[in-house]
Structure 1
Amino acid sequence: MSEKQQRLVLSIIDFLNQSISDGTIKSDDKESIEVAVQCIGEAFGVDPSDQQQVERLSVKPATLPTIFDVYLKTREKVASTSQSSAASGSTASKGPSAEDKAKADKLKQEGNALMSSKKYDEAIEAYSQAIALDTTNPIYYSNRAAAYSSKGDHLSAVGDAELAIATDPKFVKAYHRLGHAQYCLSDFGAAADAFERGLKLDPSNASLKSGLENSKARITNDGSNDSQHDVSTSDSGAAGGGMPNMADMLRNFGGGGGAGGGAGGMPDLASMMNNPQMMAMAQQLMANGGLGNLMQNPAVANMMSRVQQGDMPSMEELMSNPALRDLANQFGAGGGR
């Protein structure tokens, strides 16, 4: 029995148990469903009472209904885009008007500014309005995917990254968005596949290489996901000593108006801590004792004190601090020092 199958079975069992507890299932049917849950678990070797197994197989915070909802929304969006193009007939090749493109680009810039201010819901709305005006630009879908990931809604990010790829299969940034979202959902096999697809288009892309290595490190020998494995620190885009390159990580999250641009502005700390490379860097620091030395830096200690009090500094604020900027440069130039 593959672990992927067991993950699906556990999600089904969780859904049925939730339906029993919230009253979705009638009381007359409750006993039958409980028996069915037991039979399904035994047939696939899944025991919801085994906490260690549940932790290994769980896809939370995603649930079966949310995963299915993202699938339906993605399918509807793709179908809507296809029908719109078909209905346009001979005008389809012309695409949006110059005026619509200009309005859409302005909305994208507004979304980028909102991302810099951590106003993710407002940024999503701005990107959505841009998409409504111009469905042919993959950057808008990609930027909205980044906004979804920034607020922790990685399932929606997957849907938008797929839409960006469907709009332009050669848009490399979308493969990184997709891989990052899949990685955060602990679907390391799908993440690796996304990074590999991107590398076929851009074999020298350090961010994609790093993401692929980190994803592969989390996949067991039989090809199923295993969230218990440590993140690999030997990726091709890393600096000396296995330390991920800080500059590459900033580029992953950084803004930009170009085709390869991100969602705009400097990245926020919460987004960085969702990044597999950042997690690899943190694990490397803990492994070699560097974390203790790092915390002796007064600027870092002050930052962590603020974080504990709920005051999350922006990346722009961090990089304006000479001590922290020097620290970031050290990571980018030679993490093995």
Structure 2
Amino acid sequence: MDKTDAPEKKKTRTDPRIEAKINALRRKAKDHLSIKEFNEALQCLDLAIDLHSTSYKLYRMRSIALTCLHEYDRAAADADRVMELAPHIMDGYYHKGFALFHLKDYAAAAHAFQEGLKLNPTDKTLRQGFWDAIALVSQSRTGDAAS
């Protein structure tokens, strides 16, 4: 068992039939994501989250689907939920930073990536996101000063 699974499993015991349905929906969503059927993945994840609203994994996957659909506000909200449910893992911070970056809120994106780096200082994706966001913050400040 992965360490990141532990907090989620301890919270609630789900009826085995409901758990099987959630797992089937998650697998279907994953399959849809892999073939770029993002709306279909989103539908599966919405149903799964209705059945299990405390699964950070479902919110993380839905954040990915929403990002692929360019629904960055909603993706950021799901990333917030991931951070709330699993503050000890970097995934929520990465997805939040990614969504904010695409919303052109570079300072907030840099902050989200930086928070993720506190949990995993060697993660190259978080580090790259942080520096990309910082560069755009600096660039926008330089542009503001010039005008």
Assess same fold via TM > 0.5: yes
* Matched AA of 1:190: A
Contact 2:38 2:69 in 1 (8 A): yes
What are the equivalent positions in structure 2 for 1:67-216 lying under 5 Å apart? 93-216=11-134
* Matched AA of 1:226: S
Contact 1:136 1:167 in 2 (8 A): yes
What are the equivalent positions in structure 2 for 1:8-19 lying under 5 Å apart? none
Query: How far did 1:200 drift?
Result: 0.9
CA offsets 1:24-73 (integer angstroms, 9 cap, x no match): xxxxxxxxxxxxxxxxxxxxxxxxxxxxxxxxxxxxxxxxxxxxxxxxxx
Cα distance in 2 between the residues matched to 1:128 and 1:160: 11
Contact 2:72 2:100 in 1 (8 A): yes
Q: TM-score when scaled to structure 1? A: 0.37
Query: Is there any run of 5+ residues in structure 1 with no aligned partner, and where?
Result: 1-91, 230-337
Cα distance in 1 between the residues matched to 2:51 and 2:59: 12
What are the equivalent positions in structure 2 for 1:32-47 lying under 5 Å apart? none
What are the equivalent positions in structure 2 for 1:326-337 lying under 5 Å apart? none
Q: TM-score when scaled to structure 2? A: 0.82
**SS state of the match for residue 218, structure 1?**
helix
Query: How far did 1:215 drift?
Result: 0.7
Contact 1:161 1:178 in 2 (8 A): yes
Cα distance in 2 between the residues matched to 1:227 and 1:110: 44
Among candidates 220, 226, 232, match of residue 140 of structure 2: 226
CA separation of 1:227/1:178 partners in 2, compared to 1, >3 Å: closer, same or farther? Answer: farther
Cα distance in 1 between the residues matched to 2:141 and 2:23: 39
Query: How far did 1:100 drift?
Result: 2.4
Cα distance in 1 between the residues matched to 2:116 and 2:133: 14
Pairwise CA RMSD: 2.1
Query: How far did 1:102 drift?
Result: 2.8
Cα distance in 1 between the residues matched to 2:77 and 2:142: 26
CA offsets 1:78-125 (integer angstroms, 9 cap, x no match): xxxxxxxxxxxxxx9434334323321221110011112222111111
Number of equivalenced pairs? 134
Cα distance in 2 between the residues matched to 1:227 and 1:98: 54
Query: How far did 1:228 drift?
Result: 8.3
CA separation of 1:131/1:228 partners in 2, compared to 1, >3 Å: closer, same or farther? Answer: farther
After TM superposition, the runs of 4+ consecutive aligned structure 1 residues lying more than 4 A away are: none
Cα distance in 2 between the residues matched to 1:227 and 1:119: 39
Cα distance in 2 between the residues matched to 1:174 and 1:227: 27
Ranked by relative contact order (alpha carbons within 8 Å, sequence separation 6 or more), the top structure is: 2
More helix by share: 2
* Identity across matched positions, percent: 27
